[in-house]
Amino acid sequence: MKLLIVGGAGYIGSHCVLESLRAGHEVVVLDDLRTGHREAIGDVDLVEGSLHQPNVLRSVFETHQIDAVFNLAASCSVPESVHNPGLYYHNNLAGTLNLAAAMVEAGVTRLVHSSTAAVYGDPEEVPIPEDHRMQPVNPYGDSKRLVECTLTEMAKAHDLKHVCLRYFNAAGADASGLIGEDHADESHLIPILLQCALGHRSHFTIFGSDWETRDGSCIRDFVHVTDIARAHLMALERIDDLAGESINLGSSHGASVREVVDIAKRVTGCEFDVREEGRRDGDPAVLLASNEKASSLLGWTPDNSDLDFIMETAWRWHRTHPSGYGSDFRQIPGQKSRFGELAVKLGFVTEQDIDRVLIEQDKIRSEGRGHKMMGLCMVEMGLISTTQLVEILRHYDDGEE
């Protein structure tokens, strides 16, 4: 099947790309790269553009025989949505309307759409079921609520089968270490903690210590990004039977902010300053998903969403990519890449293989295709397997020389 993944160069989108490729699908990515990264999708066919360019959308569907669409293109910062609500209704609602109209025109009928737990607002029932009333408390959540309602109405008039997946707190990174989370202005809990562990931030702040929870800090539901990506493929497989459904994606096991801080310190082995401030407006005490519907309708379970594993995979990515996709692991004159040294030491490659990889990296840069990490180059060149890549990264994580 040929999939169009809109927003595929972003955090969750790139994991959907990787899982789709692993499942044997062909993939085309549409992304304007404002927040996404070309390096996150390797050599996958990229159309650089946005949902606000009808000519680009039309060209994508005319050029490629698309069978289904994953839409992950959205603005998703709650504080930004409060300060600039017009941007969020424009990007999230108008953008999705443009995509749906282009799909109808092209005769593409299957859409898996990313939604959010923010559509519920302050929960009256925990864990939150899908039939919980939708009363968002910020423009981000409201824009996503309107998208769901609009898709439902469009499906009444057109052959547009859609499933909306309501994410809770997406976290972690692909276990291979190939891709991960890289935002210019990071606002997510786990990456901020890991930036503290790396020394990129002076301290971590807990907002509110007097919530009615087991330790006074907020409780959130973290779900591994790979589990979210898997759910997109499961929804696509069953979309003829599930058209029109909205489905929660969460672990159904909450962790308090204090507990997440403790796990971050234990996994990284790093101490950092933790401070406390007052509550933030709009923060509910507990957000926890009911995932019974995902289990019964999709056969989905959050297999990778143990919080220790989430933290370990996130740390693997952040430690080996301390500046995100802009991290520079090029060989310094007179020195060898530590990653390359470990690969040789473990017997997976030779010194001559490393030279070939360095040549390939230089070629990619000279062609204006960004910087491709050494491990990814090795995998794509057939020098190592993804299992061997994980083993090298494990030694890298352990600080072995």
| 69: Cα separation from own chain's centroid | 17
Q: What kind and span of H or E run contains 118? A: none
Tokens representing 267?
């996994």
Query: In this structure, are residues 377 and 361 in contact, taking their beta carbons and an 8 Å threshold?
Result: yes
Tokens representing 46?
């990229």
Q: What kind and span of H or E run contains 228? A: helix 225-237
Q: Nearest to residue 257, comparing CAs of 202, 193, 198, 195?
A: 193
Please say whether the dihedral angle defined by the alpha carbons of residues 187, 290, 174 and 64, taken in this order, is positive or negative.
negative
Task: Provide the 10 A C-beta neighbour count for residue 18.
Answer: 23
- Strands 26-31 and 2-6 turn out to be parallel
- The type of residue at 106 is A
Task: Name the E strands within 2-145.
Answer: 2-6, 26-31, 45-48, 68-71, 110-116
Query: In this structure, are residues 203 and 274 in contact, taking their beta carbons and an 8 Å threshold?
Result: yes
Q: Nearest to residue 2, comparing CAs of 58, 54, 48, 45?
A: 45
Phi, psi of 111 (to 5 degrees): -135, 125
Tokens representing 146?
């309107």
Q: What kind and span of H or E run contains 257? A: helix 257-268
Tokens representing 338?
């530590």
Query: In this structure, are residues 40 and 14 in contact, taking their beta carbons and an 8 Å threshold?
Result: yes
Largest CA distance in the chain: 66
Check 140, 167, 325, 396 and give the catalytic one.
140
Q: Print burial letters for 122-138: b (CB count within 10 Å at least 16), e (below 16).
A: ebeebbbebebebebbb
Task: Write the CB contacts of 166 (distance below 8 Å, at least 6 apart in sequence).
Answer: 115, 116, 117, 119, 130, 246, 247, 248, 249, 289
Based on the residue annotation, tell me whether 140 is a catalytic residue of this protein.
yes
Active site residues: 140
